[in-house]
Amino acid sequence: MKIVPRLLSEAEYKATFSDHMVDIKGREDVVHPDGVLDLSPYLRAAEADIAPLQLLSDAPPAAVYQSPDRGFDHVLYPCNRSNTYLVVVVAQSVDQVHGHYILDLEREYGPPADA
């Protein structure tokens, strides 16, 4: 089955986001005892979609967050631009990738305080 990556608009991404996202990195097996979705095929398919950005090769997720209602997981993969992440949004109710979003923390929140 061919995977077609779906770039989420800012509004679509924010609809899956909550101010109280829960950090579950390192506890995925506890939070999802039936296993987690293998995101490798989606990441390979999305790489062309995010050009000129590139994922850091073989880098594990920088963070994994879950919405308080457990509807969505956000899995953040570091890119080759500082403070920029490919966020893969997983819809837990159907155990499928909902899409992805390019999160640029400097654009979103301003430059780091030490910059």
pLDDT at 35: 84
Q: How many domains does the structure of the chain reveal?
A: 1
Degrees (nearest 5) of the Cα angle 30, 15, 37?
35
Q: Where are the alpha helices (DSSP H) in the chain?
A: 10-15, 28-31, 40-46, 105-109
Which range marks the domain in which residue 80 is found? 10-107
24 within a domain of the structure (yes/no): yes
In this structure, are residues 4 and 96 in contact, taking their beta carbons and an 8 Å threshold? no
Residue 17 lies in a domain: yes
Q: What is the pLDDT of residue 78?
A: 95
Rounded Cα distance between 114 and 2, Å, is 44
**The tokens 């999305």 sit on which residue?**
46
How far apart CA 62 and CA 106 sit, in angstroms, is: 16
Residue 113 counted as domain residue: no
Structure confidence by residue, pLDDT tens digits, 45-94: 998 889 889 998 888 999 999 999 999 999 999 999 999 999 999 998 88
Whether 38 maps to a domain, the answer reads yes
Residue 82 lies in a domain: yes
Give the amino acid at 38: D
Q: Is the residue at 4 inside a domain?
A: no
pTM of the model: 0.89
Residue 85 included in any domain: yes
Among candidates 26, 34, 42, 28, which has minimal Cα distance to 87?
42
